[in-house]
Amino acid sequence: MPPVISAEGLYKVFGRRPARGVEALRRGSTRDDLREDGLTAAVIDASFSVDPGEMFVVMGLSGSGKSTLIRMVNGLLPATAGTLDIGGQNLFSMSPAKVREVRRKRISMVFQHFALLPHRTVGENAAYGLEISGLNRSDREQKASTALEMVGLKGWEGYKPSALSGGMQQRVGLARALAAGTDILLMDEAFSALDPLIRRDMQDQLIELQQRLEKTILFITHDLNEAMRIGDRIAMMRDGRIVQIGTSEEILNEPANDYVAKFIQDVDRSRVLTASAIMEQPPEVLGSGQGPRTAHKLLRETQNSWLVVLHRDHTPAGMLLEDDVAEAVQAGRSDLPWSPPHEMHVVRHDTPIADLFAPSAQHRNPLVVVDDDGKFLGVVPRVTLLTAAGVAHEGSPSSPSSPGAPGDTVSATGSSTVTIDQEGSEAR
Amino acid sequence: MNFIPRIPIGEWAESGIDWLTDNVAGLFDVISAIFNFLVGNLTYGLTALEPLVMIVILALIAWVVRSWQLAIGTAITFLIVLSMEQWVHMMETMALVLVATVVAVVIAVPVGILAASNRAVSSVVRPIMDFMQTMPAFVYLIPAVTFFSIGVVPGMVATIIFALPPGVRMTELGIRQVDGETVEAGEAFGASSWQILRGIQLPLAVPTIMAGVNQVIMLALSMGVIAGMIGAPGLGKEVVAAISSLDLALGVEAGLGVVILAVYLDRITAALGDSATYTKSALALVQKARARRATGAL
């Protein structure tokens, strides 16, 4: 699918004759050079695209230009140079009337300090976008009520915003954006003014709403933990430039430069990294149709103490232990000597590693990681988990010592070219 | 000091005024007719009713917009005016002030809006407002008389010019003070400039604009008294009469009438601009009951 928002080489320079600032920047001048000239370079050569249904987070400290960037996306601030397409149409070449039309139909916005109209009731605030579009009263009241119900404010229509707490006011701001029925949502530090507990609630609610409504969301924040928590992809901004775009795992594991690396020091990696990032491929897996002799051979070859058995559709069938297999071979049995079912603990690929410690401590064997459809992806031996946790604890930006590129999809079968690493042998 | 030539600014102004008198007389006649009509009818309306009935009505207005305490105070003080036999004069002054205020506001608010939205307009308007406000009020009376001869109309015109500036200033201030993010929200949802002005800026600027209107009324009242010198009817005329005959008794009574009228108009307009503060007003009570019914119905 083509991207909903795509920006190419966006510049925003404030001051007299800003175009000369863009020229200077392209020639290699720095932000400080421009400042001496009386120009402020807020955004420098920003390019990014947001796919339909994606939660794209722009993260940066104050003064990094992220608020300017989001205001260029809906044309509140015209860019000094560059192009911006909304759904394939160039926003900057549109007439003012057409831009207003785009804002009414396609883009709505949630503001840091809510920006509710204090003289209107909650219901009238939620209906504001629809009122501007010229929808009749009964229809817009109905849509506003639906939106308010979605954010958990059913029955508050008649109150003034001043009667509501900060978190509730921002829910009204969100309802106003949702009621407008646009497919793009811009959120400018939307949760930054809320206290931490409420912020977390709102983040959860936003994730849930986005999954349900499939909105494309451009979210601005200065809080890296928030960015990592909700973002499908994150753009890191510094001094007006986008320094890195990637998933939270990519940014954690491969920071583009020292600035990003310094930034992610404080992130609680065990909350951000998921099972799929640290899991590894077992040296071999066994088809469930095989017998104990094959199992024994594989275990000997791989020097492992355990073996994962898969059904034909790649869902995990069970776990075999070395001792049991040896016994079965000696006894001449032809069926596989399953370990007790509770000995195989299955986790989903998106489980944060913080939630892996308890099951890992209870099981001798590695945790088995499956994808959304329950198909086998890999295993997390205890040692791997502890190594990853150790790295997370030190906060070093270097990637944890797990083999393979994290986040890569791992095919379950046919990979016999696996070296036996230390973790594997220590896990005996 | 001979090397500084005498610049005859005063004479230029005079000949300018003369030119206007000769060439724009038709316009002045129209203005004159309109003001005479407005003030005449309003005065008639205010004095047509029995004074006691009128006092009850004015007290009720005080209760509706502010509080029952103000209503009682209004009734008592207006009864005092009635007993001082200044009632009709007070109503004449009130008519003059109200018409002057309405005209001043009708001019001031749009000018203020323009000044708020356009820096160039603002930088032109500001010195003009300074001039209008600092020029001694009596000076306005001279051209006013040349244009409109004596009576209520020149008094009105001088009053409007003198009372206009705070209306313009406070409107501009009020609109500029509106939270930028709120205006941005309007833009972000695709509102046109007119929709933003009507739906966001003006409503949020109302308290400040009403503070300006309050100032306009106070200035109009003081100027309305001065206008008594050129024959505008009302308490001002009584004050001027008291001065010329050194009649202290009349001076005190007419002056008290001005004070009482000023307090009444001030309290009413202050409450109009800041209705949220006056939770005990009849209007607020009605609104609260209606809101309760609306949420109860859900």
CB-based contact A280:A376 (threshold 8 Å): no
Rounded Cα distance between B28 and A314, Å, is: 97
**Any domain includes A286:** yes
Phi, psi of A371 (to 5 degrees): -90, -170
**Any domain includes A221:** yes
Q: A368 and A279: one domain?
A: yes
Among A104-113, A184-193, A211-220, B288-297, name the one with the lowest average pLDDT: B288-297
Q: Which chain B residues have a beta carbon less than 8 Å from that of A113?
A: 179, 181
**What are the pLDDT digits (tens) for B45-104?**
888 888 999 999 999 999 988 888 999 999 999 999 999 989 999 999 999 999 999 999
Structure tokens at A205: 């609610």
Q: Chain B contact for A77, CB < 8 A? A: no
Best A86, A91, A105, A113 member to test B by mutation, with max B CBs in 10 Å, is: A113
Q: A253 and A341: one domain?
A: no
Best A72, A103, A182 member to test B by mutation, with max B CBs in 10 Å, is: A103
Last residue of a domain, one of A237, A267, A297: A267
* CATH class of the domain comprising B10-48+84-274: mainly alpha
Q: A279 and A261: one domain?
A: no
Q: A204 and A238: one domain?
A: yes
Q: A407 and A330: one domain?
A: yes
Q: Which pLDDT does position B61 carry in this prediction?
A: 92
Count of structural domains within chain A? 2
Among B187, B195, B203, the residue with its CB nearest the CB of A76 is B187
Instruction: Give the Å distances, CA to CA, from B121 to A364, B115, B117, B173.
Output: 80, 5, 8, 14
- What single letter denotes the amino acid at residue A273? L
CB-based contact B279:B68 (threshold 8 Å): no
Q: A252 and A190: one domain?
A: yes
**Any domain includes A387:** yes
- The CB density around residue B186, as the number of other CB atoms within 10 Å, is 23
CATH of the domain at A66: 3.40.50.300
Among A112, A132, A155, the residue with its CB nearest the CB of B190 is A132
Last residue of a domain, one of A227, A243, A267: A267
Instruction: Name the residue in chain A with its Cα closest to that of B203.
Output: A119
Average pLDDT of chain A to the nearest whole number? 83
pLDDT mean over A191-198: 84
Q: A215 and A298: one domain?
A: no
Q: Which pLDDT does position B254 carry in this prediction?
A: 92
When comparing pLDDT for A404 and A295, which is higher?
A295
pLDDT mean over A218-228: 89
Contacts of A297 (CB under 8 A, 6+ apart): none
Structure tokens at A290: 């095989």
**Any domain includes A156:** no
Contacts of B292 (CB under 8 A, 6+ apart): none
**Any domain includes A348:** yes
> At residue A138, does pLDDT exceed 80?
yes
Burial class (CB in 10 A: 0-12, 13-18, 19+), A315: middle
Rounded Cα distance between B34 and B18, Å, is: 23
Q: Which pLDDT does position A56 carry in this prediction?
A: 94
> At residue A420, does pLDDT exceed 60?
no
**What are the pLDDT digits (tens) for B207-257?**
899 999 999 999 999 888 888 888 888 999 999 999 999 999 999 999 999
**Any domain includes A326:** yes
Contacts of B62 (CB under 8 A, 6+ apart): B70, B71, B73, B74, B264, B267, B268
Q: A96 and A217: one domain?
A: yes
Among B190, B204, B294, the residue with its CB nearest the CB of A103 is B190
Q: What end-to-end distance do the CA atoms of chain B give, in Å?
A: 83
Q: Chain A contact for B203, CB < 8 A? A: yes
Rounded Cα distance between A386 and A263, Å, is: 23
Q: Which chain A residues have a beta carbon less than 8 Å from that of B294?
A: 158
- Residues in chain B, overall count: 298
Contact B203 A74 (CB under 8 A): no
pLDDT-derived band of residue A417, with 50, 70 and 90 as boundaries? very low
**What are the pLDDT digits (tens) for B139-152?**
888 888 888 888 88
Of the candidates B219, B261, B224, the one whose C-alpha atom is nearest the C-alpha of residue B239 is: B224
**What are the pLDDT digits (tens) for B162-197?**
899 999 999 999 999 999 889 999 999 999 999 999
Q: How many CA atoms lie less than 13 Å away from A244 in the CB half-sphere?
A: 19
**What are the residue ranges spanned by the domains of chain B?**
10-48+84-274
**Any domain includes A301:** yes
Query: Could you tell me which residues are beta bridge partners of residue A57?
Result: A219, A234
Contact B189 A103 (CB under 8 A): yes
Q: A296 and A233: one domain?
A: no
Please give the residue range of the domain that contains residue A320: 275-426
Q: Are strands A376-380 and A107-110 parallel, antiparallel or unpaired?
A: unpaired
Contacts of A107 (CB under 8 A, 6+ apart): A73, A74, A86, A182, A184, A185, A186, B188
Q: A40 and A65: one domain?
A: yes
Q: Which chain A residues have a beta carbon less than 8 Å from that of B186?
A: 132
**What are the pLDDT digits (tens) for A364-373?**
778 888 888 8
Q: How far is CA B41 from the centre of its chain?
A: 18
Instruction: Give the Å distances, CA to CA, from B29 to A137, B26, B40.
Output: 48, 5, 16
Among A32-41, A366-375, A386-395, name the one with the lowest average pLDDT: A386-395
Q: A279 and A263: one domain?
A: no
Last residue of a domain, one of A234, A267, A300: A267
- What single letter denotes the amino acid at residue B282? A
When comparing pLDDT for B123 and A269, which is higher?
B123
Task: Report the complex ipTM.
Answer: 0.73
**Any domain includes A401:** yes
Q: A294 and A383: one domain?
A: yes
**What are the pLDDT digits (tens) for A58-102?**
998 888 889 999 999 988 999 999 999 998 889 888 999 999 999
CATH of the domain at A301: 3.10.580.10
Helix ranges (DSSP H) in A118-157 = 122-126, 128-133, 137-150
Contact B185 A186 (CB under 8 A): no
